[in-house]
Amino acid sequence: MDGLEITFLGTGTSHGIPVIGCSCSICHSADPRDKRLRTAIHVRSPEMSFCVDTPPDFRQQCLREGIVELDAVVYTHAHSDHILGFDDLRRFCEIEDKTIPVYGSPETLKRLARVFEYAFDDSQKFRTYVRPEARPFEGEFELGRTRVLPVPLPHGRMTTSGLIFSRGGRKLFAYMTDCQAVPPEAVEAARGAEVLVLDALRHAPHSTHLSVEEAVGVVRQIQPGRTYFIHMCHDLGHATTEASLPEDIRLSYDGLRITV
């Protein structure tokens, strides 16, 4: 394999599904695809293994998928549902007695270091705990032989990082979670990707996320080979929503594994 293997660790919004105290049909669905942990992915290339984000469910996700090696983490932004599994990186540092490179925009890493001061403060570090190696990006960077192009995306008052992954000149995979729109520059950068993973929170408009209808419009601009929606709330039942979508657009679900 000279491409990428992508595993969807979690595909839900910040509440997760089922939502605490909710009696709706999706929260009580028997379809396992309607059980959604907080959003993250694991990516394996021929030379390394990395994750995008570490949500509060990260330990559970790693155990479920049998992830025992991790060479890096890329953060899209520093909202709690994308970072609060950070401490679970401790085990990956312990297994191989190593630091772990942590990539993000300068602002994202600044926020991460504020929340997890003990891990980033050299005076407080010790070998048996998380040992992050902060690697801020402001442009394209490499993970092994995978080139990663960050693109800024609006998410309410915050800017998140969309990520476009390429290998050998092939634009394999564009990942755009937590965004209310995809600006023209990001559309152009992602255009023609073999796979697009895109935020689609619910049917109704939202101030910080794409709706399903808005997300379909973005797909038609980017024109990927295939698309998976992610970061979905309990308004969207998997079977009924997917049946209403065009053939080239599917819903992701926890544990889904694809190769590109």
Burial of 91 (0-12, 13-18, 19+ CB in 10 A): middle
Domains of the chain: residue spans and CATH: 5-259 (3.60.15.10)
Q: In this predicted structure, what is the pLDDT of residue 125?
A: 61
Q: Write out the E strands in 4-97.
A: 5-10, 40-44, 49-52, 72-74
Q: In this predicted structure, what is the pLDDT of residue 3?
A: 92
Q: In this predicted structure, what is the pLDDT of residue 122?
A: 76
Q: In this predicted structure, what is the pLDDT of residue 1?
A: 58
Indicate the SS3 state at residue 142.
strand
Question: In whole angstroms, what is the distance from residue 145 CA to residue 44 CA?
Answer: 12
- pLDDT, tens digit, for every residue of 169-218? 999 999 999 999 999 999 999 999 999 999 999 999 999 999 999 999 99
- pLDDT, tens digit, for every residue of 237-258? 999 999 999 999 999 999 999 9
Q: Which of 251, 254, 163 lies closest to 200 in space, CA to CA?
A: 251
Q: Which of 121, 119, 44, 126 lies closest to 89 in space, CA to CA?
A: 119
Question: In whole angstroms, what is the distance from residue 15 CA to residue 37 CA?
Answer: 8
Q: Which of 80, 97, 77 lies closest to 163 in space, CA to CA?
A: 77
Question: How many other C-beta atoms lie within 10 A of the C-beta of residue 178?
Answer: 28
Terminal Cα-to-Cα distance of the chain (whole angstroms)? 9
- pLDDT, tens digit, for every residue of 2-30? 899 999 999 999 999 999 999 999 999 99
Question: In whole angstroms, what is the distance from residue 22 CA to residue 101 CA?
Answer: 38
Q: Which of 89, 86, 52, 85 lies closest to 68 in space, CA to CA?
A: 89
Q: In this predicted structure, what is the pLDDT of residue 121?
A: 83
Q: Would you list the DSSP string of 202-253?
A: -SS--SSS--HHHHHHHHHHH--SEEEEESB-TT--HHHHHHTS-TTEEE--
Please report, rounded to a whole number, the percentage of residues in the chain having pLDDT higher than 90: 93
Determine which helix (DSSP H) or strand (DSSP E) holds 61, and give its type and residue range: helix 58-65
Q: What single letter denotes the amino acid at residue 134? A: A
Q: Which residue carries 């993000």 as its tokens?
A: 104
Please report, rounded to a whole number, the percentage of residues in the chain having pLDDT higher than 70: 97
Determine what percent of the chain falls in helix, strand and coil, rounding each to the nearest 5. 25, 30, 45
The conformational region for residue 35 under phi > 0 = left, psi -120 to 50 = alpha, else beta, is beta
Question: In whole angstroms, what is the distance from residue 257 CA to residue 202 CA?
Answer: 23
- pLDDT, tens digit, for every residue of 89-105? 999 999 988 999 999 99
- pLDDT, tens digit, for every residue of 110-162? 999 999 998 998 766 666 689 999 999 999 999 999 999 999 999 999 999 99
